[in-house]
């Protein structure tokens, strides 16, 4: 895989080691920026670059950094969100596995910009193998004087630690992540106060996604205008899209924001495999509404996705073919949300449970005609009424599936669909 920026050198043999990383220009930005550019200058460059968070919400990164209070006596923390729990998303793991030093460099620079002396990388519980790779790279950086009390001889102190969660989707939500990092149960906290003001140990904390941070050395090294050669006015830069499903070449693709969905799937992923026809695409990880095949020419950027009723989200592009049942697909997704709901608030805890039940009976051909409106009503009542965005993440796909594929749900009332009968016969399940 290649890409113009983050994936440019990704397949260079030995890139995970310090020597190779330095050979391709690694840590040059740390040497050029630390002690030479002020933290405020760095924040202004990141603001001017137009970089928006790659964790899902797309919040402007430089603006978030500027919310960290100045002149406070309290420690400030930088936390990298490497939970990568959104179904369909697998970009951060490739970035860390193959290029761990780029994350370390991004974190040193972000730490300098917000004047934090301590960073944490929070990895999901299943990423024990990635933690080893990252710890090894961190040890190399300490040995080379790039981390610790005197980063690159500049007098700036920056320590970096990794932390493994226990494998819960909700721990990707930034406030639940901070609770988990502190050793508490991973449940979301009320916002405001936002973490930038009151985060880890109630101190100012910036939480950023892996891909966001890996962009920083490029932006501070080459400048905002250079970075803006990719992407659109409001969605600057590149994005790593994780493509899964029945395409010929699934995987991670780093492309300029604004690339049409069709170009990603047909030119880069080689189109559908085995003569299958595309039915739908979930463009931003499982939490966003799907798009029907008729909207394949929509550009992949924050604004264009919103204009067609969905979101760019995490960039996890899930492809669904004509032979796949949408009721079954949504039931599958809803089981995930019901299982991962942390249980703190009623709309999400109860709503995901009830929506799962309704989808199960529809899928089994035991649904009632009123079930479809009931499903829509439940989703409408969860959206905007949950304590954290996980509730919305469960409700929005339901609304999108019903908007574009209602006929399939109606077909399921009192009968099973051809796709399910085909699947059952393949698996030897009696009719
Ligand atoms: C249920 C849920 C799961 C999330 N999972 C992740 C995740 O795995 N990785 C991530 O970076 N952000 C995740 N987020 C978004 C974070 O809360 C936060 O917005 C993000 O880490 C901020 O980083 P950014 O500004 O660099 O995007 C999740 C949000 C929710 C509501
Ligand atoms: S919406 Fe409520 S129950 Fe669901 S994960 Fe968030 S806080 Fe927990």
Last residue of a domain, one of 193, 227, 261: 227
Last residue of a domain, one of 295, 321, 347: 321
Q: What is the C-alpha to C-alpha distance for residues 116 and 346, in angstroms, rounded to an integer?
A: 37
Distance 194 CA to ligand 2 centre (A): 17
The ligand minimizing its distance to the Cα of 185 is 2
Q: What is the C-alpha to C-alpha distance for residues 105 and 102, in angstroms, rounded to an integer?
A: 5
The ligand minimizing its distance to the Cα of 165 is 1
Say if 26 falls within a structural domain: yes
Q: Where are the alpha helices (DSSP H) in 312-416?
A: 326-340, 346-363, 371-382, 389-411
Whole-number Cα distances in Å, 332 to 54, 291, 325: 25, 18, 11
- Say whether both 332 and 372 belong to one domain: yes
**CATH code, domain carrying 165:** 3.40.50.11540
Say yes or no: CB of residue 173 within 6 Å of ligand 1: yes
Say if 233 falls within a structural domain: no
Residue 238: beta bridge partners? 256
- Say whether both 182 and 44 belong to one domain: yes
Contact (CB, 8 A) for 128 and 134: no
- Say whether both 90 and 166 belong to one domain: yes
**SS3 per-residue string spanning 20-59:** HHHHCCCCHHHHHHCCCCCHHHHHHHHHHHCCECCCCCCC
| Of 307, 305, 291, 251, the residue nearest 405 (C-alpha) | 291
Q: What is the C-alpha to C-alpha distance for residues 335 and 360, in angstroms, rounded to an integer?
A: 9
Atom in ligand 1 nearest the alpha carbon of residue 213:
26
Q: Vertex 77, ends 75 and 79: CA angle to 5°?
A: 170
Contact (CB, 8 A) for 119 and 77: yes
Q: What is the pLDDT of residue 348?
A: 98
- Say whether both 48 and 125 belong to one domain: yes
Domain count, the chain: 3
Say if 420 falls within a structural domain: yes
pLDDT tens per residue across span 256-300: 999 999 999 999 999 999 999 999 999 999 999 999 999 999 999
| Of 218, 223, 266, 264, the residue nearest 240 (C-alpha) | 264
Q: What is the pLDDT of residue 282?
A: 98
Residues of the chain with pLDDT below 50 are: none
Q: What is the pLDDT of residue 117?
A: 98
Say if 381 falls within a structural domain: yes
Say yes or no: CB of residue 215 within 6 Å of ligand 1: no
Say yes or no: CB of residue 284 within 6 Å of ligand 1: no
Say if 371 falls within a structural domain: yes
Say if 216 falls within a structural domain: yes
Query: Quick one: CA dihedral 172, 174, 180, 185, positive or negative?
Result: negative
Cis amide bond preceding 296, omega within 30: no
Q: What is the pLDDT of residue 428?
A: 77
Token digits of residue 33 = 């920026």
Last residue of a domain, one of 301, 321, 341: 321
Atom in ligand 1 nearest the alpha carbon of residue 211:
26
Contact (CB, 8 A) for 403 and 289: yes
Say if 67 falls within a structural domain: yes
Residue 318: beta bridge partners? 244, 282
Domain range for 65:
18-227
Say if 355 falls within a structural domain: yes
Token digits of residue 139 = 């040890």
Q: What is the C-alpha to C-alpha distance for residues 108 and 146, in angstroms, rounded to an integer?
A: 9
Atom in ligand 1 nearest the alpha carbon of residue 57:
19
Distance 18 CA to ligand 1 centre (A): 28
Q: What is the residue-wise DSSP string for 138-149?
A: HHHHHHTTSSBS
Query: Quick one: CA dihedral 94, 99, 101, 107, positive or negative?
Result: negative
Q: What is the pLDDT of residue 1?
A: 64
Backbone angles phi, psi at 252, to 5 degrees: -95, 135
Residue 207: beta bridge partners? 79
- Say whether both 42 and 123 belong to one domain: yes
pLDDT tens per residue across span 386-429: 999 999 999 999 999 999 999 999 999 988 877 777 777 777 77
Contact (CB, 8 A) for 92 and 209: yes
Would strands 316-321 and 238-244 be described as parallel, antiparallel, or unpaired?
Answer: parallel
Q: What is the pLDDT of residue 362?
A: 94
- Say whether both 404 and 351 belong to one domain: yes
Q: What is the pLDDT of residue 81?
A: 98
Cis amide bond preceding 428, omega within 30: no
Quote the pTM value.
0.96
Where is 319: in which H helix or E strand? strand 316-321
Contact (CB, 8 A) for 55 and 89: no
**CATH code, domain carrying 352:** 1.20.1440.230
- Say whether both 355 and 386 belong to one domain: yes
- Say whether both 31 and 141 belong to one domain: yes
Whole-number Cα distances in Å, 176 to 53, 61, 74, 305: 18, 20, 21, 27
- Say whether both 302 and 200 belong to one domain: no
Ligand 2 pocket by C-beta < 6 Å: which residues? 170, 188, 341-345, 348-349, 386-388, 390-391
- Say whether both 204 and 304 belong to one domain: no
- Say whether both 206 and 354 belong to one domain: no
- Say whether both 374 and 313 belong to one domain: no
Q: What is the C-alpha to C-alpha distance for residues 2 and 412, in angstroms, rounded to an integer?
A: 43
| Residue whose tokens read 């492309």 | 255
Contact (CB, 8 A) for 108 and 68: no
């Amino acid at each position: 895989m290649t890409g113009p920026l983050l994936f440019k050198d990704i397949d260079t043999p030995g890139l995970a080691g310090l020597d190779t990383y330095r050979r391709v220009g690694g840590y040059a930005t740390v040497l050029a920026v630390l002690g030479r550019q002020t933290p405020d200058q760095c924040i202004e460059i990141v603001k001017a670059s137009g970089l928006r968070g790659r964790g899902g919400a797309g919040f402007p990164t430089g603006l978030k950094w500027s919310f960290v209070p100045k002149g406070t006596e309290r420690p400030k923390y930088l936390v990298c969100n490497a939970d990568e729990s959104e179904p369909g998303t697998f970009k951060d793991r490739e970035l860390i596995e193959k290029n761990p030093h780029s994350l370390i460099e991004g974190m040193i620079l972000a730490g300098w910009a917000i004047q934090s002396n301590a960073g944490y990388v929070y990895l999901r519980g299943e990423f024990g193998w990635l933690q080893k790779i990252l710890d090894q790279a961190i040890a190399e950086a300490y040995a080379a004087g790039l981390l610790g009390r005197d980063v690159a001889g500049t007098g700036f102190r920056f320590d970096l630690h990794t932390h493994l969660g226990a494998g819960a989707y909700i721990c990707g939500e930034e406030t639940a992540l901070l609770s988990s990092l502190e050793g508490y149960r991973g449940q979301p906290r009320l916002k405001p106060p936002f973490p930038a003001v009151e985060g880890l140990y109630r101190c100012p904390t910036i939480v950023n996604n892996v891909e966001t941070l890996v962009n920083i050395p490029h932006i501070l090294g080459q400048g905002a205008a250079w970075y803006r050669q990719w992407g659109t006015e409001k969605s600057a830069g590149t994005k790593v899209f994780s493509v899964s499903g029945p395409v010929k070449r699934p995987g991670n693709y780093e492309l300029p924001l604004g690339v049409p969905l069709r170009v990603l799937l047909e030119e880069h992923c080689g189109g559908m495999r085995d003569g299958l026809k595309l039915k739908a695409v979930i463009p931003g990880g499982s939490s966003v509404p799907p798009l029907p095949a008729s909207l394949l020419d929509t550009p992949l950027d924050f604004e264009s996705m919103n204009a067609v009723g969905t979101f760019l989200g995490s960039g996890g592009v899930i492809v669904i073919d004509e032979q796949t049942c949408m009721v079954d697909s949504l039931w599958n997704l809803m089981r995930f949300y019901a299982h991962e709901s942390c249980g703190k608030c009623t709309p999400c805890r109860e709503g995901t449970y009830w929506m799962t039940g309704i989808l199960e009976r529809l899928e089994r051909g035991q649904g009632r005609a009123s079930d479809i409106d009931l499903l829509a009503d439940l989703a409408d009542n969860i959206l905007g009424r949950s304590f954290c965005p996980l509730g919305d993440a469960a409700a929005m796909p339901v609304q999108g599936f019903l908007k574009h594929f209602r006929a399939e749900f109606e077909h399921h009332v009192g009968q099973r669909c051809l796709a399910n009968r085909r699947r059952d016969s393949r698996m030897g399940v009696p009719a």
